[in-house]
């Protein structure tokens, strides 16, 4: 294995690696307490629920290209100088690069995040758009991009009426959207484009819905609650692993949480243990006050029609 001389040198001198990282951390801390302080204080208030109009320093960044450049310059200059001297250092802000998109999270407070995003040249034909409650404000710092703006006009059980239009944005332009009914999808970047994005989730989290841009079909629905999303992934994993021993627990979980996560728990329970799952399904269907009673009754009727032998399971008490 070939080990780069610079990496070998760092392995032989851990102190130099620590000092290099401390220099990068100091550069970011200096910016946070200096040039970046006022807007970051506003970000904290905004993350706690204050309107953007009551956060003047933060609002200025999202509406004034020159002000945004002046605010970012001390951080980027100090960071690049430090990285030039310490090329193997890690920039001490959350960052990532994937498929031509680079991101640096400049600040995170409460429900709000401020992010610097750079797009390399790209051209794509989006097939779907997702909507989730929250608000987003963006400023194009440099470059040119074509965006598809999508408005959710009406939601039905498994589809939606959607309005679409394509618009080109250039440096200095801004855009804002209410994520529950509005979104935008990037279709093309001419060269390279850099944007400053401010996003805040709603205090009352709701489901994220993904619709087909071609016909408005509902493609996917996911919980907007992080804990419920984790639970949904865990239950799906149990199902894929065939863990039938988890069926009693999943039956209990059909009584807890939002309608979406309860239904997902029921589906996985049915797949892992028919008797346990069908008993839980019958219990839900029998409770007229339960918001899932109607779909549970419909599913129970479909299953009994397809598999009459399930009727013999109704005498088995639900473990939940």
- Domain for residue 6, yes or no? no
Based on the domain organization, do 234 and 162 belong to the same domain?
Answer: no
- Asked if the structure places residue 5 within a domain, the reply is no
Domain count, the chain: 2
My answer on whether 211 and 246 are in the same domain is no
> Residue 52: what pLDDT?
95
**Residue 41 parent element (H or E):** helix 37-47
Q: Flag whether 197 is in a domain.
A: yes
Is residue 119 domain-resident? yes
What was the pLDDT predicted at 19?
80
Whether the pLDDT of residue 198 is over 80: the answer is yes
> Based on the domain organization, do 196 and 248 belong to the same domain?
no
- Asked which of 166, 191, 222 is the last residue of a domain, the reply is 222
Q: To the nearest whole percent, how much of the chain has pLDDT over 90?
A: 70
**Do 240 and 218 reside in the same domain of the chain?**
no
Task: Tell whether 145 and 277 lie within a shared domain.
Answer: no
Q: Which of 222, 255, 288 is the last residue of a domain?
A: 222
In terms of domains, do 208 and 78 share one?
yes
**Residue 1, domain member (yes or no):** no
Beta bridge partners of 160: 155
Instruction: Tell me what the pLDDT averaged over the chain comes to.
Output: 90
- Rounded to the nearest angstrom, the gap between the alpha carbon of residue 41 and the centroid of all alpha carbons in its chain is 24
Residue 4 domain flag: no
- The token pair that represents 284 in the structure block: 């839900």
The confidence score (pLDDT) of residue 316 equals 47
Whether residues 216 and 302 share a domain: the answer is no
Is pLDDT of 222 > 90?
A: no
**Residue 3 resides in a domain:** no
Shared-domain flag, residues 73 and 211: yes
Q: For position 33, what pLDDT does the model report? A: 94
Asked if the model's pLDDT at residue 320 lies above 50, the reply is no
Look up the CATH number of the domain holding residue 27. 2.60.120.10
Same domain flag for 28 and 143: yes
> In the chain, what is the greatest distance between 2 CA atoms, to the nearest angstrom?
75
Residue 306 lies in a domain: yes
Residue 256, judged by CB atoms within 10 A of its CB (0-12, 13-18, 19+), counts as exposed
Burial 216-245 (b: 16+ CB within 10 A, else e): beeeeebbbbeebeebbeebeebbeeebee
What is the per-residue pLDDT for 157? 80
Question: Is residue 138 domain-shared with residue 88, that is, in the same domain?
Answer: yes
Q: Among the listed ranges 16-25, 166-175, 228-237, 294-303, which one has the minimum average pLDDT value?
A: 16-25
Same domain as 269, residue 218: no
> Which of these ranges, 10-14, 32-36, 60-64, 251-255, has the smallest mean pLDDT?
10-14
Q: What is the pLDDT of residue 93?
A: 93
Give CA angle at 133 (127, 137), nearest 5°.
Answer: 85
pLDDT digits (tens, 9 = 90+) for 91-132: 899 999 998 999 999 999 999 999 999 999 989 999 999 998
Q: Are residues 172 and 75 in the same domain?
A: yes
**Considering 222, 248, 275, which residue would you say is the last residue of a domain?**
222
Domain that holds residue 218: 11-222
**Residue pLDDT, tens place only, 247-300:** 999 999 999 888 888 999 999 999 999 999 999 999 999 999 999 999 999 999
């Amino acid at each position: 294995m070939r080990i780069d001389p610079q990496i070998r040198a760092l392995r032989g001198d851990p102190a130099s690696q620590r000092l290099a990282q401390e220099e990068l951390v100091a550069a970011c801390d200096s910016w946070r307490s200096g040039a970046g302080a006022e807007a970051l204080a506003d970000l904290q208030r905004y993350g706690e629920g204050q309107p953007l109009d009551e956060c003047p320093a933060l609002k200025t960044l999202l509406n004034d290209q020159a002000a945004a450049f002046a605010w970012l310059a001390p951080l980027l200059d100090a960071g690049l100088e430090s990285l030039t001297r310490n090329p193997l250092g890690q920039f001490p802000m959350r960052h990532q690069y994937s498929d031509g998109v680079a991101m640096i999270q400049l600040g995170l407070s409460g429900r709000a995040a401020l992010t610097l995003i750079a797009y390399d040249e790209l051209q794509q034909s989006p097939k779907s758009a997702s909507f989730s409650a929250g608000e987003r404000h963006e400023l194009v710092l440099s470059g040119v991009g074509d965006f598809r703006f999508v408005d959710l006009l009406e939601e039905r059980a498994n589809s939606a009426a959607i309005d679409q239009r394509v618009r080109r944005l250039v440096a200095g332009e801004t855009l804002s959207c209410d994520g529950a009914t509005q979104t935008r999808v990037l279709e093309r970047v001419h060269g390279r484009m850099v944007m400053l994005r401010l996003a805040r989730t709603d205090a009352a989290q709701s489901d994220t819905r993904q619709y087909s841009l071609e016909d408005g079909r509902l493609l996917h629905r996911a919980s907007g609650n992080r804990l419920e999303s984790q639970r949904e992934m865990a239950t799906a994993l149990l199902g894929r692993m065939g863990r039938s021993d988890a069926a009693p627990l999943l039956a209990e979980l059909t009584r807890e949480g939002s309608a979406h996560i309860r239904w997902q728990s029921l589906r996985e329970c049915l797949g892992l243990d028919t008797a346990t799952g069908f008993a839980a399904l019958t219990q839900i269907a029998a409770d007229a006050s339960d918001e899932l009673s109607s779909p549970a009754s419909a599913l129970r009727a479909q299953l009994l029609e397809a598999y009459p032998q399930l009727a013999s399971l109704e005498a088995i008490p639900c473990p939940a």
